[in-house]
Amino acid sequence: MESPTLTENRPYTVPPFAKECLEAAGEAWHAAHDHAFVQALADGSLDSDRFRFYQMQDARYLEAFADATSIISTRCTDPDDKLWFIEAAQMAVVVEQELHAGYGEELGYDADDVAQLELTPNNRAYQNHMIASAHTGSLVEAVAAITPCPWLYVDLGQQLEAEMGEVPESHPYAEWLEMYRDPAFNEYMDHLLERLHRFAVAADPAARERAKELFVLSVRYEWMFWDQSWTKQEWPV
Ligand SMILES: Cc1ncc(CO)c(N)n1
């Protein structure tokens, strides 16, 4: 039986090139959904130290996501595309600030702690991958590298909603689970995947292949982001 994450049954449109990217990511997409960190987050058994580690690293990750989408905006010629990526960048910063205002108070860290945090190897590698793709890739490559970030989380949020139903108020990570099942993301996904597809159609076949590779790498980095939070990754030397 085909896994629910690869069916057509999503509440937003998945145009052909986005579908090709998803199919190319295949196993890594599922592995990211199935990671022990995600399982523990969903069933509420995740310890707060690991969650804190994740949130602090993620605050910095979202700043890099905002940088990547800002750079992409400068490379768009169509004013609607430009504005959409500017807004995506703004939203990432706003979400990041809200997250660490809320979780920071609860988990005991503030904006200075986030600013001074040493990035893990995996986080740094993922950020550099997005930023490098935004600077040096063609437009479709730049967008392909940032697409798994929202897509994987929205997919995960909706899958967990289907499996778990309503999140009980007593769930320690209710707020996180509620956030990524928000139906407002469906419109965001429609807009992003439509652009990914349109830029792919305008690109040459070699650029499309490279874009798919960059998409798959970002899915792998998503798995590695859960993993670095699960193991509390440190630099080996
Ligand atoms: C690492 C990572 N990927 C995706 C999202 C979704 O915004 C996030 N917050 N962090």
CA distance 102 to 94: 12
The pLDDT, as a whole number, for residue 7 is 54
Task: For the chain, 237 residues long, give each residue's pLDDT as a single digit of tens.
Answer: 344 455 568 999 999 999 999 999 999 999 999 999 999 999 999 999 999 999 999 999 999 999 999 999 999 999 999 999 999 999 999 988 888 888 899 999 999 999 999 999 999 999 999 999 999 999 999 999 999 999 999 999 999 999 999 999 999 999 999 999 999 999 999 999 999 999 999 999 999 999 999 999 999 999 999 999 999 999 999
- Looking at the structure, give the CATH architecture of the domain made up of residues 15-231: Up-down Bundle (1.20)
Query: Mutate which of 53, 62, 158 to test ligand 1's pocket (most atoms within 8 Å of Cβ)?
Result: 62
- Determine the distance separating the centroid of ligand 1 and the alpha carbon of 130, expressed in angstroms: 12
Whose Cα sits closest to atom 2 in ligand 1? 149
Helices (H), the chain: 16-34, 36-43, 48-75, 79-107, 111-116, 121-136, 139-146, 148-164, 174-180, 184-202, 205-231
Amino acid identity of residue 94, one-letter, is: V
Query: Long-range contacts for 3-12 (Cβ within 8 Å, ≥24 apart)?
Result: 3/30, 4/159, 4/162, 5/29, 5/30, 5/33, 5/155, 5/159, 10/155, 10/158, 10/189, 11/158, 11/183, 11/186, 12/186, 12/187, 12/189, 12/190, 12/193
pTM above 0.90, yes or no: yes
Burial of 226 (0-12, 13-18, 19+ CB in 10 A): buried
How many Å lie between the centroid of ligand 1 and the Cα of residue 3?
Answer: 22
139 lines ligand 1 (CB under 6 A): no
Instruction: Check pocket membership of 61 for ligand 1, CB cut-off 6 A.
Output: yes
As given in the structure block, the two tokens for residue 109 are 């860290």
Ligand 1 centre distance from Cα of residue 225 (Å): 9
Catalytically active residues are 222
Q: How far apart are CA 153 and CA 60, in angstroms?
A: 17
